[in-house]
Amino acid sequence: MPYLEERGDAKSSAGEEALTASRMVRIVGAYVRPHGLALAGFFASMLLSAGALLLLPKLMATAIVQGAQRHEWRVIVVIFGLGLVWTLAGALRNFLITWVGERVMADLRTAVFRHVLGLSPAFFEKRRTGDIISRLLTDVALLKTAVTAALPYAPRSIVMLLGSLIVMLVMDPAMTLLVVLLVPFLVLLWRSVGKEIRRLARETQDRLADLGAVVEESINGIRTVQSYQSESRVGAIYENLVRSGLQLTYRRLRLGMGMSVATGVIVFLLIAGMLRLGFHQIHSGMLTAAQLTAFLFYAFFAAISSASISEAWGFLQRGVGAGERVLALLNAVNPIQEPQDPVPLPAGKGQVEFRQVEFHYPTRPRHYAIQRLSCTIGAGQHVALVGPSGAGKSTLFHLLLRFYDPQAGEILLEGVPLTRLSMQELRSAFAVVSQEPVIFSASARENILLGRPSATETEVMEAAQAAHAWEFLRTLPEGLDTQLGERGITLSGGQRQRIAIARALLKDPRILLLDEATSALDSESEHAVQSALTRLGKNRTTVTIAHRLSTVRHADWILVLKDGRIVGQGKHDDLLGDCPIYARLAKHQFLTDTKAL
């Protein structure tokens, strides 16, 4: 929770494995390659427009000296033609590079998001949602700016700079030598400043991600924030983060400005030097005034080009900094890997076996959530899982769905280790109804269809009816088409749960995993949810994390869990006598459940 602690100096990309430049180029290159033709067009039009521009001053100088007497029209037409070529080729150049850039970034953004969607929950425990969002949005946008707004002008400026230098060299080698001597200084300046800009840009993006995280969390928990009157505290934390981001930006701006000024000063010193030399040469008759004018034009081109190269260099460094953050997501290795040659899931009614399973969450390497756990859940059985809070009950569900892999031991479904099954087959064998069912900001219909997107309208209706969801959906303004709001905020806890049950019914899985949540429900919706659950559990293996006496009474088998171990199993009446932990749970937890007695 970023806003519970001040974290102005935290560095979220610091722990990340740094991407080498060549790996970055390779990744981005793969997205650029399909647009080779457009890129070739870009380079051609760039060369054409630069060439036209380079020819202009020379022609004008010639025209002024000679054209005034003869071929007036021809000279004017040629110059106009060159201007036209320069304009059209320039427009095409801009269009093509922007087109490619936008397309590549759109593809990249989609690819990164798709990759992130497949990553194990373990990945997200170490990262904040706001950080991932900002990488997908602002970092990709920055990268795009670098690629579309800076990169295209860099080659043009380089071509212009080199072109100007060559023409100058031909016109007057002595003066050009003056220029060439200064180039290494410029390169050195850009390199050192560029590195710093890149670091600052990356840090700025980190701060932006922190901002996103604060917004995300406080909006999600707006009721808690307001009821504890934490608005001003959260606001202050936000402001501090904004300030520290601003400081970074200021530093980057100062650096960028310093670099531009230094470049400009160097360049104009150079021009002053040239003028001095040029006047001297005119006096000694080596150069005409027109030639010096043309030469100075090229010197200006060279100056403008180097200024824009230095600007592009800054942009590029920022882009690389942002690109590192985006590509780090794309580069993230999924701790949960699909098998190379999956075993098809055998037919069956949902038999599950745990063999000597040991597991700790990746963020808590010293705390074993499951310890040497072995048990079998027979096909078609109804098993109740009981135990104190923190015993590892929900963790068993996470392991069954392969959100995490155990560090030791094996879990088998129909006799096949989970790691040998394709993810698709494994996960379609289960449906979960959890304590806090997740409802997406979509219509009720779309939320139910999540269970099986191909289901027909009638099937959706039937599922809603069987889940006792139809009773309240019917009364909503637009029935199944009613938008349920972000996280189903417009529904009560019991209504959310019944939508989730309808979803599970539609999925029709072999094995049903239920995390009972009676505490959240009033007695009326509890009754509706209970009867919906009974219907859902018919004819399939069901594992229920039970908080109710009625559930454990009707279970075929009860597993008692404590500290990640099975400390008792059997039927209710036997466990009451044999298992003190169960007896205690029954006394304190179930006995309050008077309706079931």
Q: Which stretch binds ligand ADP (CB under 6 A): 135-143, 153-161, 200-208, 362-370?
A: 362-370
3 or 123: CB nearest ligand ADP: 123
Unique residue bearing structure tokens 């390779």:
26
335 or 388: CB nearest Mg ion: 388
The conformation of residue 522, written as its DSSP 8-state character, comes to -
Q: Which residues pair with 541 in a beta bridge?
A: 511
How many chain residues are in contact with ligand ADP, going by CB under 6 A?
13
Distance CA 380, CA 556 (A): 10
Write the DSSP assignment of 338-374 as a string of letters. --SSPPPPPP-S--EEEEEEEEE-TT-TT-EEEEEEE
Q: Which stretch binds ligand ADP (CB under 6 A): 93-101, 314-322, 357-365, 504-512?
A: 357-365
415 closest CA partner among 345, 508, 336: 345
153 or 582: CB nearest ligand ADP: 582
- How, if at all, do strands 408-413 and 382-386 pair? unpaired
Distance CA 513, CA 178 (A): 79
> Smallest distance, Å, CB 517 to ligand ADP?
12
Can residue 394 be called a binding residue for Mg ion (CB under 5 A)?
Answer: yes
> Smallest distance, Å, CB 407 to ligand ADP?
14
Query: 404 and 336 in contact (C-beta within 8 Å)?
Result: yes
Cβ contacts of 510 within 8 Å, gap of 6 or more: 348, 349, 350, 429, 430, 540, 541
Name which of Mg ion, ligand ADP, none residue 175 binds, using a CB cut-off of 5 to 8 Å depending on partner kind: none
Q: Which amino acid is at 346?
A: P
> Smallest distance, Å, CB 337 to ligand ADP?
20
Q: Which stretch binds ligand ADP (CB under 6 A): 248-256, 389-397, 449-457, 530-538?
A: 389-397
Within positions 393 to 412, which residues make up the interface with ligand ADP, using CB under 6 A?
A: 393-395
Cβ contacts of 300 within 8 Å, gap of 6 or more: 271
Q: Which SS3 state, helix, strand or coil, does residue 388 take?
A: coil
Can residue 310 be called a binding residue for Mg ion (CB under 5 A)?
Answer: no
Can residue 145 be called a binding residue for Mg ion (CB under 5 A)?
Answer: no
> Smallest distance, Å, CB 532 to ligand ADP?
22
**The only residue of 6, 72, 102, 125 in contact with ligand ADP, by rule CB under 6 A:** 125
Can residue 389 be called a binding residue for ligand ADP (CB under 6 A)?
Answer: yes
Task: Return the ∠ at Cα 582 (arms to 580 and 587), rounded to 5°.
Answer: 95
Site track 67-96 with ligand ADP (rule: CB under 6 A), x = hit: ------------------------------
Distance CA 246, CA 241 (A): 9
333: number of Cβ within 10 Å: 9
> Smallest distance, Å, CB 398 to ligand ADP?
7
Query: 350 and 380 in contact (C-beta within 8 Å)?
Result: yes
112 or 546: CB nearest Mg ion: 546
In the bound state, the residue with its beta carbon closest to Mg ion is 394
305 or 394: CB nearest Mg ion: 394
The conformation of residue 319, written as its DSSP 8-state character, comes to H
Can residue 519 be called a binding residue for ligand ADP (CB under 6 A)?
Answer: no
Q: Which residues pair with 410 in a beta bridge?
A: 355
**The only residue of 36, 346, 390, 577 in contact with ligand ADP, by rule CB under 6 A:** 390
The footprint of ligand ADP (CB under 6 A) covers 125, 361, 363-364, 369, 387, 389-395
The footprint of Mg ion (CB under 5 A) covers 394
